[in-house]
Amino acid sequence: MKEKKSILIVDDEKIVRDSLYHWFLEEGYEVISAEDGETALKYFEKGKFDLMLVDMKMPGISGLDLLEKVKEIDPDCIFILITAFASVPSAIKALKNGAYDYITKPIDPDELNHIVEKAIHQKELKDENVQLKDKIDEIIKPDNLIGESRQIKKIFELISTVSQTDTTVMIRGESGTGKELVAKAIHINSKRKYFPIITVNCGALAESILESELFGHEKGAFTGAHFRRKGKFEMADGGTIFLDEIGSVSPKMQIELLRVIETKQFVRVGGNETIKSDFRVIAATNEPLENLLKEGKFREDLYYRLNVFTIFIPPLRERRDDIPILAYFFLNKFNSAMNKNIKNISREAMEFLVNYEWPGNVRELENAIERALVVGKTESIKIEDLPFHISPTFIDDGDHSLSAMEKKHIAKVLDDNNWNISKSAEVLQIDRVTLYNKINKYGLRKS
């Protein structure tokens, strides 16, 4: 049900006050009347009003003086003056001081009602705009990007610095550290915040598909192209394009990327029209591009074009102070999502979380807490609720170090999945490359 709008009528003539009071009461407004400015200001001590209808000339505080005082209390209050002596100078002064409009006596009720409706509608649109902008900020703010460690505070500082510019940014870090969250944080703190941020996972697409994905294509450009389609660079006009896993891009696409980043122009696949787009570029990589440069797999000119401002996100194991903060953040998040009421994390479980190596970083921690809430039966997360807890099926050889625990757990998962690397990596919530590195590190072999 729509909330009633409140009107305060201020006029020293009782007949005018009563007529307006009953008129707007019948129109569905909440109405209060006052015989002078002093009484009106006393009403303001109890609460604000959406609109005021005020006589220009009154004993004591005049309508213009009351306008000035009300605007100090509530700048958003709609102020309409009523006068029997309309003059151009007084009208101009009233409008300059913040009045919405004025009307002359004798009052035409229909005319006044039209002015009031129009004024309130404009105020509602203004309020909705403010609320919408606040809501947009709230929705797109990266919630997982939290922490109190020295490293994360430095990242916040770098985000604050670079977001005020249009500089190209390179974000580095292991898989699962939150590179996309940093990109979003830069975007929402920039002047481009009300335009889209478009994410492209370059490593997930074949070269031919990536070209169409980035630049778009015309109808009939290739088999299956039944319609014209905008590319990501075109969709990012006014906003930001986030190129994830940039190190996986083929040499041919590297040339195309360099050209579009430098000129902000491109042609759709199968088209002739040159399209312009105003976008900002943020790239990310989880592998050292310098090694790819030495191997001739990454162009030097594109490297320097992308690597203008670098933000490195350390792995979770290097900022263990943030683990309890993140763990409780995820606990609250999934409590709300699952309608559960697990209140805390046991001391033993938290100790294990803080000391675990986290090869999958923040993403792995989030998944671990989610899993714990799914299987947890008490008001506290126990160590046995975690997906990587010390299983009683492990052979206790006396070595209780974290690396030994990790080795045993990985070996068990591999054996349980008949050494299917893809499935084992999925269970462990790490990527295949990380799993291969762990297998080599611990010298694991299929039995």
Contact 362, 429 (CB under 8 A): no
Question: Residue 106, preceding bond cis, omega within 30 degrees?
Answer: yes
pLDDT score recorded for residue 361: 92
Contact 280, 241 (CB under 8 A): yes
pLDDT score recorded for residue 261: 94
Nearest to 360 by CA among 324, 410, 307: 410
pLDDT score recorded for residue 138: 45
> Which segments of the chain belong to CATH 3.40.50.2300?
6-137
Contact 187, 198 (CB under 8 A): no
Contact 155, 319 (CB under 8 A): no
pLDDT score recorded for residue 411: 85
Q: Let me know the angle formed at the C-alpha of 221 by 218 and 226, rounded to the nearest 5 degrees.
A: 70
Please give the single-letter amino acid code of residue 345. I
Strand duo 78-83 + 344-345: pairing: unpaired
Burial of 219 (0-12, 13-18, 19+ CB in 10 A): exposed
Q: What are phi and psi of 400, to 5 degrees?
A: -105, 20
Alpha helices per DSSP H over 150-307: 150-163, 179-188, 207-215, 232-235, 251-263, 289-294, 300-306
> Which segments of the chain belong to CATH 1.10.8.60?
317-442
In angstroms, rounded to a whole number, what is the distance separating the alpha carbons of residues 312 and 159?
11
In angstroms, rounded to a whole number, what is the distance separating the alpha carbons of residues 88 and 64?
14
Contact 360, 181 (CB under 8 A): no
Contact 352, 386 (CB under 8 A): yes
Q: Please tell me the total number of residues recorded for the chain in this structure.
A: 447
pLDDT score recorded for residue 133: 62
- Alpha carbons within 13 angstroms on the beta-carbon side of residue 92 total 3
Strand duo 229-230 + 30-34: pairing: unpaired
The token duo for 288 is 């050292």
In angstroms, rounded to a whole number, what is the distance separating the alpha carbons of residues 32 and 127?
23
Tell me the torsion sign for CA atoms 118, 119, 120, 122.
positive
Sequential pLDDT tens for the chain (447 residues): 467 889 999 999 999 899 999 999 998 899 999 999 999 999 988 888 999 999 988 888 888 889 989 888 888 899 998 887 656 677 777 788 888 888 888 888 888 889 999 999 888 888 877 776 655 444 344 666 888 899 998 998 899 899 989 999 999 999 889 999 999 999 999 999 999 999 999 888 888 788 888 998 888 777 777 788 888 999 999 999 999 999 999 999 999 999 999 999 998 888 888 999 999 999 999 988 999 999 999 999 999 999 999 999 999 999 999 999 999 999 999 998 888 889 899 998 999 899 888 988 999 999 999 999 988 888 899 988 887 643 334 444 555 566 777 888 888 888 878 888 888 888 888 888 888 888 888 888 876
> Which segments of the chain belong to CATH 3.40.50.300?
150-314
Nearest to 276 by CA among 289, 262, 286, 287: 262
Tell me the torsion sign for CA atoms 185, 186, 192, 198.
negative
Contact 270, 222 (CB under 8 A): yes
What fold characterizes domain 317-442? Helicase, Ruva Protein; domain 3 (1.10.8)
* Edge-first strand listing for the sheet containing 6-10: 30-34, 6-10, 51-55, 78-83, 101-104
What fold characterizes domain 6-137? Rossmann fold (3.40.50)
Burial of 91 (0-12, 13-18, 19+ CB in 10 A): middle
Please give the single-letter amino acid code of residue 5. K
Q: Which CATH number fits domain 150-314: 3.40.50.300, 3.40.50.2300, 3.40.50.10490, 3.20.20.70?
A: 3.40.50.300
Q: What are phi and psi of 32, to 5 degrees?
A: -130, 145
**DSSP element (H, E) containing 361:** helix 361-375
Q: How far is CA 204 from CA 43, 200, 243, 425, 436, in A?
A: 64, 9, 11, 17, 19
